[in-house]
Amino acid sequence: MRVALLLEYDGAAYGGSQLQRNAPSIQGELERALAALIGAPVRAALAGRTDAGVHASGQVAAFTTAARHGPATYVRALNALLPPDIAVRAAAEVDEGFDPRRHAVRRLYRYCILAGSTRRPLWRRSAWHVPVSLDTTAMAQALAVLPGEHDFAAFGGLPGPGRSTIRRMERAWLEQHQGEGIGVWLEANAFLPHQVRRTVGALVEIGRGRLAPEVFAEWLAGPRAGRAGPAAPPQGLTLVSVAYRAAPAGPDWQAHIEKVKQDEDV
C-alpha cells in the first residue's frame, strides 16, 4: 500500500528536508521512524525541498510498504518515534502512483518578519528580526506585480541546466499584524531554488527605502539571474500547504489541509 503523511516540523536543527550526507534531515528522521515501525527500510518522497532551518506546517510525504497498518496507527506510532520537532498531523492510504512532488499543483509559503528596534527572543527561531520600521505600502505595491506566469530568473537560483525558470505565481500578498509582525505570503505552482527567501530579502530592501517598488516589475521584464536579494534568513520561512488537483485521500485529507491553513496566523 502507498501512504501519504501530512508533516509539521521545526527545521532549526536540520540541514534541510532532503537526505543529507553530513547533516540530519527531515527525510532521514522520518525514514528511521518508519523503519523502526515497519521493521524494514522505507524510502519516503517529499512534496517540496525545504532548506536548512526552514519550517513546515503542511509538508506532504509518501511511501510504499507491505505493512498493513491503518492511518491512525501511522499517526500515533510515528509521533512516538519521531523527535519532538517533527510530527505527523495526518495519514491516509493513497493511489499506488501518487507522487507528492509531481502531482502537486500549488505550494503556499509564508515568511514572517518582525520589524522594530527591540529583539523578540520568543520569535528568534520563527521570524526575521529587522531592527527598523518598514514601508509596508511600498512592499505591497512591489508584491502586486508578481501574480501571473513570468520568468522568475531574477528572483531565484537556477533550477539546473536546460530547465525553465518560468513559474506561475497564483497569489502574493502581505499581512500586517498587531505590533511589529509582517507576513509575506507567496503561492505558486512551483518555486525556483531560494526564490521565496530572495524575494523577501529584496522586499525588505524596498521596505527600508533602498530599492524602489517598481524594481520587481523591472526584474520580471528583464529576468537576469541573481538580481533579487540578498536572501532572507531561513528561520522566517514556513511551507504552509501543498495543494493537489485531486486530494490524495478524499475530503478528510482536504479538511486537514484547510485546518493547517487556518492555524497559520502570525
Pairwise CA distance, residues 111 & 71, whole Å? 31
Name the residue type at position 97.
Answer: G
Pair 59, 47: CB distance under 8 Å: yes
Pair 185, 108: CB distance under 8 Å: yes
Q: Which of 10, 51, 135, 252 is catalytic?
A: 51
Pair 149, 222: CB distance under 8 Å: no
Residues with Cβ within 8 Å of 213's Cβ and at least 6 positions away in sequence, in order, are 138, 139, 141, 142, 206
Question: What are phi and psi for residue 16, nearest 5 degrees?
Answer: 140, 180
Residues, the chain: 266
Whether 151 is a known active-site residue: answer: no
CB atoms within 10 A of CB 84: 7
Q: Coil, strand, or helix at residue 223? A: coil
Q: Return the closest-CA partner of residue 175 out of 264, 242, 75, 255.
A: 264
Name the residue type at position 179.
Answer: G
Active site residues: 51
